[in-house]
Structures are given as C-alpha cells and as structure tokens.
Amino acid sequence: MNNLRPKGTYDLFDEKGQLFLKIRDLFFQLANNFNFNFIDTPIFEYLTVFYTSGKQSDLVSKELYKFSDRSDREMALRAEGTAPVMRAIAENKLFLNNKKFFYFGQMFRYESPQKGRSRQFWQAGCEFIDLSDDSQTSAYQKLEILQLGIALLNRLNIDYKIKLNYLATQETRANYINALKQYFEQYKDKLEKVSKERLEKNPLRILDDKIESQKDFVINAPKINAFYTEAEKQDFETILSVLKDNKITFEVDSNLVRGLDYYDDLVFEFVSDSPALGQRTTILGGGCYYNLVSDFDMPPAKGVGFAIGVDRLLEILSLNTQNEREIDFYLLGFNFDEIKKFAFLANQIREENFLVEYNKKATSFTKGFKKAQKSNAKFIVFYEKDQPANTVTIKTVSTGEKQIVESLSLTIIKSLKK
C-alpha cells in the first residue's frame, strides 16, 4: 500500500538525517555553553495549557491537534514549546533554582503543508524567565537569547536577517489596537476575507500578513511607536544600544507583530531568503512575554525566548551540502583470520571516539577495496599479501599513500587523524 504516511509529515533518513543530528548536537552544545538547562515536556498536554495565552491566534483557534482521550479529557498535541515549558517550570517549581531553559522536540500544527511547513515539525527553543525590571539587566538577558540563536545559525553557515519590534505593554497595545481598528475600517473593502475577520479579533495580525503587508494602506498604517510611553521609549532604546554594542545587525520592522497572543515588549524574527524556502521565510521567531508566566501557578515573572524551525534549517542546508558521512577508518579483512583481528581493533579505536567500520564478510581484494572506497573512509587498513606478520598497511585515501606499520597502535592511529 502506498501513501500511508500522514499528510504534512515526512520520514527522516540519509543525508537529511545526518544533518538533523548535526543541528541537534550543535544546538545542545551551544545551549550548554550558554549555561541553559535542558527541559523536555510531554508531546501532549491538557488543551487548556495552550489556551492560557488567549484563543485569538491561528495556532490556538485553527491549528491545534485536539482530541479527547478515552476518559474524555480534552487534550492537544504539543503545538509550541513555550506554554508547556512554563507549565513544567511552575509545576516543578524550577523557577526557584533556574532561569534559563532549552528544549528540542516535535511540534504539531494542523497547517497547509508546503516546503518548510509540516504538520509535525521540530523546534529548537530556549526560554529565559524572570526578566529583570531593570531595563539594562533585562536588555542583557534578551541579548543572550539572541546570541544563542545567532551562534547556531552562524556555526551552520546559514544567512539570515534579524527583524525586531517593540510591542510595549498590554495597555499601550490596547490604545494602538483601537487606533488601528479605526484606521482599517476605512479600507475594509480592500482587506482580504481573513483580515476582515481579524479586524475584530486581532487587527495586529493584518500588519504582518504576507499579502496585506504589500498593500500601501497597510504599509502606511499607524505605527506602534507613536503610542509608547516615555519609559517604553527609553526601554526600547536601551535594548537597541545593547544589541549595537554587541555588533548585532538588525532592522526595526514596526509591522512585525508575531503570530502568538502572548507577546509583549521585544519581539524578533530571523528571516531567510534561501531559495530552498522562498523569500522572507522565518527560520527563528521569539520575543518577550509578561502574561504567560502569570497564567501558571508561579510568581509573576516576565520571560523571553525563541524557537528555531529545525525543518527549515534542514531544507536550507540540504540545498548547499553534499553531506556524506565521513568514516575515519575502514578495516578491510579478506578472510576470517583478519576479520577476527579487525573486529577487536575496530572496537578499540571507537573507544577513542573515531568513526570506524569493518567488513564482516570475507571478500576478494578488488571487491573489498571498492566497498572500502565507497564507504568514504579517510584511511583503509588491511593486510597486504605476504606482508610480514604483526604489521598492517594503512592507505591514506586522499593521496593514495601507503605505509606499513609494525602494529596498529592507538598512538599511530591518533597521529593519522591529525
């Protein structure tokens, strides 16, 4: 039977599988260097966990994979990481000891699948909770979050642009939303159907809708910065100057509002123009949230975080790279006497953290070499015909150079690797 794979999902293997491991390992390593603490939450939650931040966003209103379990509890597959992580932090009182958390896991959203948009996808994310009330301190906390995202993308050689905006507080946004509603009422006829619905519930979303954002009257809509209080203006300036001091290149985009309901203060997106995904695709999204934390049973605290779309990074990287797995040593035995020795040796070398393969089937010289070369090994180790006992031959594949060594000691192997 064909086509049994659910729509919007994919199987991961071969080169993309290797790339996936590379991204994951690098993210874990970097998050660790930044002193973030690993956290993993269940792949499903009570539906209400996703309702805590409001029900207006597309994600909550249209894209949740909701289901009732056999005891009629209302559940949902994990659609994003922030709300579940906050639930876990509150429930386990993690806020008493830690402020910085990172996670890596699958998310589920009922969306129209296309390149870089799946119904099951992976996010690499982090959250910094308990942001300081002091503007400078909190600017450095935000900086650290951005630096983690930047470090990952730079290490993967992925190009991106950082866009950011300051959404201030709920009160300021309420004033702004009123003005925006009045403004868009004049252009109601020119709005798309989905925007007409948003006009009532969530007019901010009209601003960064892909189609609407091209229209002149949307480009010229009132800007949120006209509604900032003095303190908010100052706070945004402080953030921008800390980012500039740290050589972060960004663009302020006053129409950037983000798709989820829980954002306040600073929001940001890293956007890629890679042909793998098409223009202006968001590969990382995040920002601050003041209210989400207080929705759970913990002292009110502000948070900031991001999530990277790992699938999108995979698309970009697999366009650029031929990611063949590189083996360090291929031990080629032609008969079982040799295979026996190599089986033992292979395991010894692996203990030194090398990638090692050996053949388990007796083979001819020609066939064996073909296979060893195909394995993409840097060194092929074998016994040459009539070679003195207790010596092996090591062939460097890139140069064709051969050397006979008395015994294949770990010292020799380590020196070859360099």
Contact positions vs ligand HAM (CB under 6 A): 80-82, 109, 111, 116-118, 121, 123, 125, 127, 259-260, 282-287, 305-307, 309, 311-312
Least Cβ distance, residue 259 to ligand HAM (angstroms): 6
Query: CB–CB of 122/104 below 8 Å?
Result: yes
Least Cβ distance, residue 199 to ligand HAM (angstroms): 22
Give the CB-nearest residue to ligand HAM: 309
The DSSP 8-state label assigned to residue 61 in this structure reads I
Select 127 or 328, whichever has its Cβ closest to ligand HAM: 127
Find all residues with CB under 8 Å of 315, minimum gap 6, and list them.
115, 116, 274, 276, 277
CA distance 203 to 177: 7
Give burial (CB, 10 Å; 0-12/13-18/19+) of 224: buried
Least Cβ distance, residue 288 to ligand HAM (angstroms): 8
H or E segment and range at residue 347: helix 336-351
Strand runs labelled E in 32-145: 37-38, 44-46, 66-68, 74-77, 100-108, 120-131
Least Cβ distance, residue 150 to ligand HAM (angstroms): 15
Least Cβ distance, residue 307 to ligand HAM (angstroms): 4
Terminal-residue alpha carbon distance, the chain: 50
Query: CB–CB of 83/292 below 8 Å?
Result: yes
Select 15 or 111, whichever has its Cβ closest to ligand HAM: 111
Select 149 or 368, whichever has its Cβ closest to ligand HAM: 149
H or E segment and range at residue 284: strand 281-289
Select 77 or 392, whichever has its Cβ closest to ligand HAM: 77
Least Cβ distance, residue 216 to ligand HAM (angstroms): 27
Least Cβ distance, residue 114 to ligand HAM (angstroms): 9
Least Cβ distance, residue 304 to ligand HAM (angstroms): 7
CA distance 138 to 170: 18
CA distance 39 to 27: 13
Task: Annotate 89-105 with DSSP letters as a single string.
Answer: HHHTTGGGT--EEEEEE
How many CB atoms neighbour CB 47 within 10 A?
Answer: 16
Select 94 or 405, whichever has its Cβ closest to ligand HAM: 94
Task: Annotate 171-221 with DSSP letters as a single string.
Answer: HHHHHHHHHHHHHHHTTGGGS-HHHHHHHHH-THHHHT-TTGGGSHHHHTS
Least Cβ distance, residue 142 to ligand HAM (angstroms): 11
Select 285 or 368, whichever has its Cβ closest to ligand HAM: 285
Select 287 or 333, whichever has its Cβ closest to ligand HAM: 287
Which residue do the tokens 């199987």 mark?
A: 11
Give burial (CB, 10 Å; 0-12/13-18/19+) of 9: middle
Select 167 or 394, whichever has its Cβ closest to ligand HAM: 167
Select 57 or 375, whichever has its Cβ closest to ligand HAM: 57
Select 160 or 382, whichever has its Cβ closest to ligand HAM: 160
CA dihedral angle for residue 291, residue 292, residue 294, residue 295, rounded to 10 degrees:
120
Least Cβ distance, residue 225 to ligand HAM (angstroms): 22
